[in-house]
Amino acid sequence: MTADRFIAMTMLFEKYARLLDEDRLEEWTDLFVEGCLYEIVSRENVRQNLPLSLMLCDSKDMLRDRISALREANIFNIHVDCHVIGPVHVAPSDAGWDVSSAYALYQSTQEGETRLFSVGRYHAHVVEHDGALRFARQRVVVDTGAILTLLATPI
């Protein structure tokens, strides 16, 4: 793997985190291809080989529906997200790259109280689409399977 590729993946993950943290969720969905898979699963289920997710969008349309539900319908704890993403591991695979990294996600309230909301690992499959890197798959394996309060905004 070239250093350029590593930097490109790091920049993709940086953008992913920044768009989420800045509540630019609609732009965040644009980082995915149409037939994408976005999934949040608990380590507890993964370890037991159980298929249930916490959140499962198997197309970009479902991802967009998630975001429009957050915008239009759902009521959830008012908070700001802060994603801290570790160094990426990149391996070529199936006309793309498998990219993984650890993350920590902090949530802060309006009054400035911060809690560690979730830690875990991203397991992405990234492809080149129209000259840009896009997520074909993003599988978030959460170690923090006991979701604090609720899980509204994507990890």
Partner 1 sequence: MSATQEALRRYHFPASDGSRIPYGMYRDAEIYALEQERIFRGPVWNYLALECEMPAPGDFRVIAVGDTPVIVNRARDGAIHAMVNRCAHRGSIVQRQIYGNARGHICCYHQWSYDLTGRLVSVPFRRGVKGVGGLPADFDMGCHGLQTLRVSVLNGVIFGSFSEDAVPLQEFLDVPFVAQLKRIFHKQPVVLGYQRQRIFGNWKLYTDNLRDPNHGGLLHMFQITFGIARLSGRGGATMDREHKHNMSWAAQGSRPEDDAPAESQEGYSDTGRGDMDIRLRDPSMLRYHKEYPDDLSLTIASIFPNCAFQQIGNTLAVRQFRTKSADEFEIFSTYFGYADDDDAMRRHRLRKANLAGPAGLVSMEDGEAVELVHRAIVRDGQEHSVVEFGGRGAISDQENLVTDVPMRGFWIHYCKLMGIETGEPRP
Taking the C-alpha atoms of residue 137 and residue 118, their distance in angstroms, rounded to an integer, is 20
In whole angstroms, the minimum distance from the beta carbon of 88 to partner 1 comes to: 25
Please report whether residue 139 would count as binding partner 1 according to CB under 8 A. Answer: no
Binding-site member from 34, 74, 109, 114 for partner 1 (CB under 8 A):
74
Q: Which residue lies nearer to partner 1 by CB, 133 or 153?
A: 153
Please report whether residue 77 would count as binding partner 1 according to CB under 8 A. Answer: yes
In whole angstroms, the minimum distance from the beta carbon of 102 to partner 1 comes to: 21
CA 32-149-53 angle, 5° bins? 40
DSSP state, residue 151: -
Neighbours of 40 (CB within 10 A): 20
DSSP state, residue 54: S
Q: Is the dihedral of CA 62, 64, 50, 138 positive or negative?
A: positive
Residue with tokens 């798959």: 137
Binding-site member from 3, 4, 72, 95 for partner 1 (CB under 8 A):
72
Query: Interacting stretch for partner 1, rule CB under 8 A, among 5-13, 58-66, 103-111, 122-130?
Result: 58-66
Binding-site member from 2, 3, 4, 73 for partner 1 (CB under 8 A):
73
> Among candidates 68, 60, 73, which has minimal Cα distance to 138?
60
Please report whether residue 44 would count as binding partner 1 according to CB under 8 A. Answer: yes
In what helix (H) or strand (E) does residue 12 lie, and over which residues does it extend? helix 3-21
Residues near partner 1 (CB under 8 A): 40, 42, 44-45, 48, 50-59, 61-62, 64-66, 68-69, 72-77, 145-152
